[in-house]
Amino acid sequence: MVDHKHTIGALFILFAIGIFAFPLFSGLVLILSLVVFGGLSSIWKERELKLLSLAAIVLLALCNMGINGMKFGIDFSGGTRIPIILESPASQTTMTEMVDIIKKRASAFGLTEVKVKSIGDSQINVEVPSGDPALISTVESLLSHQGVFEGVVDGKVALSGDAILPGTIQNVPATYLHGADWGVQFSVTRDGAEHFASTVNGKANYPLYMYLDRPKDAIVIASWDEVSKNVKVKDRQMVRSAAKKALTVENSTINFYILDELNVSSLHASTNKTKAIVSKATEAQIGSQLRAEGFTVQVVEDTEISPDVQQIETGEYIIEEWKAVGLLSSPVLNPTVTVGTPNYGYIISGGAQGDTPAEKQTDAYNKEKGIQSILKGGALPIQISIGSKTTIPAPLGSEFLKLSVIGLFISLIAISLLVSVRYRKMNILLPIIAISVSEMIILLSILGSFTIDLAAMAGIIAAIGVGVDAQIVITDELLKKSAGTPQERLENAFTIITTNVVVAIFAMVPLLFSGMVEIIGFAISTILGSLLGLLISRPSYAALVQNIAEE
């Protein structure tokens, strides 16, 4: 009976690369591969099938690189620097904590190619690849939050971010969203659950206002056109009442004003940091007056200044979402959670924007991942603001990338020659080079679909070195002709190789989930290289050299 487990593994890697090369046809690629495999398995030997699988994957990898190109990180292609300005100087300990929090946010969002550096005691520079404007916009949005989460009920903070257990933060399945476009669920500590239970006791059908970075010292000013944009019933008194309930928090109430009812000269900033949150249109009308009265004017988008007012089952109107003040959502408390019994699980949900279903889906995904990454990273101990971004040159550049590839080929040839001399069989040289080059092409294709940085390149070089080591193990075992049949000797070799792969993967898993974005690329490339070698390149090499070793 012919063992096809390695060839089947190769087909699934073929499918994985097909996702990057031909996203719309990857399913068809897999189906056709299985059909061809089923037909050929009856007439071709296992040796030919292994080599065919490797050749097909290399071909698809080359197509992927030719069609989609390759994405390189800041080290090779330059990037964009986004400065984060701290509102007050930080100690060395606090600065280290803030850098770590930003790295965790980037890692939780899936951004592995982000560099975070502290500059002095009042600035942090975040550097991202400059080739993707959408990525830069996402990073800016992700970094603009201090990360302070609060759940407010009837003017009291019932739930705070300090009580959230980071390991429990995850997305909500669509079947449990109840009409929302996205959702994030999490659990809280025992103290947090007990505090929530006591705060909401007897507050059935009250809204739970969930805030992220709610302003502590601010006022909101909007025109009636802006306020009534998302209001079905055009009732000013109703809107004022809903806004007052949403913005009232003990010792930190935000005052709300409608522009055409306001005398700006009657307003006075309580401190030199008091913010006046307005839209672009309102800033153009009264911005200078607000600054004259001592306010720091914070301009938001027109869509953010407009509250989303909804009517709940009790007939009362509440503000469901208000981006200008960080209000994410306002779920109504079910009577079952207001009887004083601690509840440990919570959900934040909301709507998505977009003109098409695909745009709404993308917006929902970004919001969901953004909230998760901010909550997982935790709150920054000092308030921040985003400075003007600048373009930075590549510290290593394309020339360094070229030299890295040349160095990789030279080292590969040198190792292959030494191996050939060791075995005194020059005909082993070509299989070693061919298999190693194939491995390198496949790894570059997969990692290049994301981002290849210096750490990922180091992982690729390490994976090639481990591959040559595995080829030596196979060759040594095949040459032990007194150790059994060729099949038994191959099984011994793959037992050793499998053990090495398992050890390498387990060694890399802690690095993969460490949150240290600088080494994630190395961990990913090492794991991919190990799996690729076990499933494809090692069996293909064995098929190539088995006859040579027997001779």
Question: pLDDT tens digit string along 320-365?
Answer: 889 899 998 888 888 888 888 888 887 877 777 778 888 888 888 8
Residue with tokens 């491995």: 439
Q: Is 438 exposed, middle or buried (0-12, 13-18, 19+ CB in 10 A)?
A: buried
Average pLDDT over residues 14-35: 44
Cα–Cα dist 301/214, whole Å: 17
Residue 42 forms part of a structural domain: yes
- Predicted TM-score (pTM) of the model is 0.61
Q: How many helices (H) and strands (E) does the chain have?
A: 18, 18
Please state the φ and ψ torsions of residue 506, each to the nearest 5 degrees.
-65, -30
Residue 519 burial (10 A CB sphere; 0-12, 13-18, 19+): middle
How far is residue 226's CA from residue 464's CA, in Å, rounded to a whole number? 60
For 96-148, the pLDDT digits (tens) are: 888 888 887 776 665 656 778 888 888 888 888 765 677 777 777 777 778 88
- The pLDDT confidence band at residue 279, using thresholds 50, 70 and 90, is very high
The answer to whether residue 381 sits within a structural domain is: no
Say whether both 321 and 432 belong to one domain. Answer: no
Please tell me whether residue 355 adopts helix, strand or coil conformation: coil
More confident residue, 387 or 242: 242
Mean pLDDT of 181-194: 87
Residue 35's alpha-carbon distances to 10, 18, 50, 261, in angstroms, are: 14, 16, 16, 73
Which of helix, strand or coil describes residue 79?
A: strand
**Of 365, 454, 389, 354, the residue nearest 172 (C-alpha):** 365
pLDDT of residue 23: 43
The residue-averaged pLDDT of 156-166 equals: 87
Task: Name the domain count of the chain.
Answer: 3
The answer to whether position 277 is within a domain reads no
Average pLDDT over residues 146-172: 87
pLDDT recorded at residue 272: 81
CA distance 128 to 135: 8
| CA nearest neighbour of 118 among 73, 78, 74, 83 | 83
CA distance 95 to 91: 6
Task: Tell me: do 124 and 62 sit in the same domain.
Answer: no
CA-based diameter of the chain, in Å? Answer: 99
Query: DSSP characters for 450-495?
Result: T-B-HHHHHHHHHHHHHHHHHHHHHHHHHH-GGGS-HHHHHHHHHH
Q: For residue 383, is it within any domain? A: no
Copy the structure tokens of residue 364: 């929902």
Query: Does any domain span residue 289?
Result: no
Domain range for 359 is 149-266+295-373
CATH of the domain at 450: 1.20.1640.10
pLDDT for 67: 81
Instruction: Give CA–CA dist 545/551, Å, rounded.
Output: 10
Beta carbons of 538 and 415 less than 8 angstroms apart: no
- Residues 428, 502, single domain; the answer is yes
Residue 127 and residue 198 in one domain: no
Residue 387 in any domain: the answer is no
Exposed / middle / buried, residue 54 (Cβ in 10 Å: 0-12, 13-18, 19+): buried
Residue 270: Cβ within 10 Å count = 11
Question: Is the model more confident about 155 or about 11?
Answer: 155
Q: For residue 245, what pLDDT is reported?
A: 92
16 vs 360, residue with greater confidence: 360
Cα separation, 330 vs 207, whole angstroms = 6
Q: Which pLDDT band, with edges at 50, 70 and 90, does 57 fall under?
A: confident
The CA-atom distances, in angstroms, between 183 and each of 354, 365, 368 are 17, 9, 6
Same domain, 367 and 413: no
Instruction: Write out pLDDT tens, residues 375-418.
Output: 777 778 888 888 888 877 765 556 667 777 777 777 777 776 77
Q: Are residues 92 and 69 in the same domain?
A: no
Average pLDDT, the chain: 79
CATH assignment of the domain containing 110: 3.30.70.3220
Please, which pLDDT band fits residue 4 given cuts at 50, 70 and 90? very low
Average confidence (pLDDT) over 206-225: 90
SS3 309: strand
First to last CA, the chain: 25
Q: Does 353 lie in the same domain as 232?
A: yes
Asked if 358 and 213 sit in the same domain, the reply is yes
Residue written as token pair 């063992």: 3
Q: Between the CA of residue 441 and those of 19, 344, 466, what are the distances in Å? A: 16, 49, 16
Cα-to-chain-centroid distance, residue 333: 32
Sheet holding 327-329, edge to edge: 156-160, 149-153, 209-212, 327-329
Domain boundary among 100, 121, 142: 142
**Residue 244 is encoded by which pair of tokens?**
């007052």
Q: How far apart are CA 549 and CA 471, in angstroms?
A: 12
The pLDDT score that the predictor gives to residue 26 is: 42
> Starting from the edge strand earliest in sequence, which strands make up the sheet with 218-222, in order?
255-258, 218-222, 275-279, 296-300
Mean pLDDT of 9-18: 48
Distance (Å, rounded) from C-alpha 274 to C-alpha 166?
32
Query: What distances in angstroms separate CA 87 from CA 193, 297, 385, one per listed residue?
Result: 32, 15, 7
The pLDDT of residue 366 is 81
Six-digit token pair at 366? 């970004």
14 and 129 together in one domain: no
Residue 20, domain member (yes or no): yes
Last residue of a domain, one of 338, 373, 408: 373
Residues 438 and 519 in one domain: yes
Of 310, 344, 373, the last residue of a domain is 373
Asked if 61 and 123 sit in the same domain, the reply is no
CA distance 447 to 108: 19
Question: Residue 516: pLDDT above 80?
Answer: no
Q: How much of the chain, in percent, has pLDDT values that exceed 70?
A: 85
132 in a domain, yes or no? yes
Question: Are 451 and 71 within 8 A, CB to CB?
Answer: yes
Q: Are residues 37 and 57 in the same domain?
A: yes
Which two three-digit tokens encode residue 71? 């994405």
Helices (H), 41-155: 46-68, 74-77, 92-109, 133-143
